[in-house]
Amino acid sequence: MRNPYSAHLALLGTNLFFAFNFSAVKHLLNAGLMQPFGLNLVRAGITTALLWVLFFFKPVKSKIDNKDIWRFIACGLTGIAINQLLFLKGLSLTYSNHAALLMLATPILIVLMAAWVLKESLSFQKVTGLVFGLTGATLLIVSGNRTGSGSQVLLGDLLVLLNALSYALYFILVKPLMQKYNNVMIIRMVFTIGTLVILPFGWNEFQQIPWTQYSVQDGIYLFIIVFCGTFLAYLFNIYGIRTLGASVAGSYIYIQPFLASLIAMLMLNERLSVFEMFAGCMIVAGVIVINSKKKLFPFKNLP
């Protein structure tokens, strides 16, 4: 039996790594040490290499059915390529705390995708949660606060939201694979496909990376982004999901924006206005209402 305490620590570490990623990425981008697509290639490429190294030390062989090949390709596109390209490009244009709060829209968008793709019913409670969450995301995007390091905040926020939409679609597409194949094998294949797609987009920016200008601190930030915030985070997340379940693992996403905002305040001098805090609370409220097992409203499912 797996240790639940270590699983909780793994999930806490995953979200702490993800939270640190927002500011670490902004630091490298703002300092001109990386460009978004170049960083995508470094991040995905090294993680893919590490996953294959892990395979050689602990091989898990699983033959992929021909009918599932298209699904693996779709997961590589939505879960890695499109997801990461939109996220880092959007983050380069907006604020770390905006991006972190908008990522909370992911579980809300998953509900919409499940209703559309999997034909899952929408209860009045879920619709209420969707209204709360999407209203909060809209308010955050149109927020009048324009201080900080965001250069094209509106465009950046929209790209981050599209990234969340891409990841939501990935979550729906990958669920049948999780029931059929080894989880680490799935991530390895998804990252491999995603890296091959990112390669032509990021190669030019990768060649322009000024490695000689990197300080020790810059190198530590890059190491945390790639090794901790990508490779370990994905593995820790799988361990947490398999040990505690998806609902418990998903609940940890609530702490991510607050950790990210705190780190952004310390590293990037970013601040959240009262209006942005209110918008973020609406997103959190929407997620809680959607995922609450207790029936909050005495209404039946919508047709």
More confident residue, 107 or 177: 177
Q: Are 84 and 190 in contact (CB under 8 A)?
A: no
In this structure, how many other beta carbons lie within 10 angstroms of the beta carbon of residue 146?
10
* High-pLDDT (> 90) share of the chain, %: 26
Among candidate residues 285, 284, 275, the one with its CA nearest the CA of residue 142 = 275
**Interval 189-219: pLDDT, tens:** 999 999 999 999 999 999 999 999 999 999 9
Alpha helical stretches, state H, the chain = 4-30, 36-57, 69-76, 82-93, 96-102, 105-117, 124-141, 153-178, 183-207, 216-223, 233-244, 246-251, 256-268, 274-291
Instruction: pLDDT band for 297, please (50, 70, 90 cuts).
Output: very low
Among candidate residues 211, 192, 206, the one with its CA nearest the CA of residue 45 = 192
Token pair belonging to 73: 């390709």
pLDDT at 205: 95
pLDDT at 44: 94
pLDDT at 128 over 60: yes
pLDDT at 51 over 50: yes
Token pair belonging to 293: 């097992």
* Surface-to-core class of residue 120, CB atoms within 10 Å of its CB (0-12 exposed, 13-18 middle, 19+ buried): middle
Residue 144 phi/psi, 5-degree rounding, is: -80, -10
**What is the C-alpha separation between 193 and 257, in angstroms, rounded?**
29
pLDDT at 9: 86
pLDDT at 171: 76
More confident residue, 123 or 169: 169
pLDDT at 299: 45
Average pLDDT estimate for 228-239: 85
**What is the C-alpha separation between 215 and 273, in angstroms, rounded?**
33
Token pair belonging to 211: 């490695």
Q: At what angle do helices 4-30 and 216-223 cross, to 10 degrees?
A: 130
pLDDT at 33: 94
**Interval 75-115: pLDDT, tens:** 999 989 998 899 898 888 887 777 777 777 666 666 666 66
Instruction: pLDDT band for 278, please (50, 70, 90 cuts).
Output: confident
Mean pLDDT (the chain) is: 79
Residue ranges covered by each domain of the chain: 4-291
| pTM to 2 decimal places | 0.77
